[in-house]
Amino acid sequence: MAKIYTKTGDYGITATIEGKRVKKTSELIELYGSLDELNSFLGFAAESLCRSDMQDLLKQIYSIQRGLFTMGSHLISGSKESLGFQAISQLEELIDALNAQLPVLKKFILPGGGENSSRLHLARSVCRRAERAAFRLIEAHKSRSVEFIAIYLNRLGDWLFTAARFCAFNENIEEITV
C-alpha cells in the first residue's frame, strides 16, 4: 500500500476486501467498526495489565484480540467460512475458571473497581454495542452467517464482566454494589 489514504471514502462509501462498494452507514460496516473499536478498547485494557501480575489474563486478551481481528476480516471479506463455535466454548471455560476464584455475586455492581477493572468494564460496554450491531445485521439481512459473531460477543461480554471482577478481587479493591 503506497498511500494510506485513497479518497474513495470521502463520499460515504467504502470497499470490502472483495472490492464490493458499500455505504459506511450500512449494518455491515457498523458491525465491522464496532469490532475494531472493541479490539482497541481491549488493547487499552491490556496496556494496564502489562504492569500487573495478571499475565494469564493478559494472554487471554491477546488471544481474544486476534479472534476479533479474524472475525472482522471474515466479515468484511464476505467469507462464509465458519470460525468455529469452539471459541465460544473456550470463552465459557475461561469464564468458569475465573468465576471459581471469585466470591458469589449477590448484588449488582457498579463499573469500576480500579484501573484494570474499569478498563475491562469499558470494553464490556463496547462489546455489548457490537453485539447489538451483530443482531441488527442478522435482522436486516436475514443473515445467519453473522450468528457466530453475535453469540461470541454475547459470551465475550460475560467474560469481560467476570475478568473485571477478577481484577478488582485480585487487586483487593472492593466492588461498589447497588
Q: Tens digit of pLDDT for each residue in 98-128?
A: 999 999 999 999 999 999 999 999 999 999 9
Taking 90 as the threshold, does the pLDDT of residue 81 lie above it?
no
What distance in Å separates the CA atoms of residue 175 and residue 178, rounded to the nearest whole number? 10
The confidence score (pLDDT) of residue 82 equals 66
CA atoms within 13 A on the CB side of 154: 12
User: Measured in whole angstroms, how far is the alpha carbon of residue 145 from the centre of its chain?
Assistant: 18
What distance in Å separates the CA atoms of residue 65 and residue 72, rounded to the nearest whole number? 11
User: What's the whole-number mean pLDDT along residues 164-170?
Assistant: 97
**38 neighbors 127 (Cβ within 8 angstroms):** yes
Give percent above pLDDT 70 in the chain.
97
- Cell numbers representing residue 153 in the block: 460477543
Give me the residues paired with residue 177 across strands: 109
pLDDT tens digits for 8-35?
A: 889 999 988 888 899 999 999 999 999 9
**64 neighbors 126 (Cβ within 8 angstroms):** no
- Cell numbers representing residue 84 in the block: 468455529
Residue 109 DSSP class? B
pLDDT tens digits for 48-72?
A: 999 889 999 999 999 999 999 999 9
List domains and CATH numbers for the chain.
13-170 (1.20.1200.10)
What distance in Å separates the CA atoms of residue 122 and residue 125, rounded to the nearest whole number? 5
The confidence score (pLDDT) of residue 51 equals 87
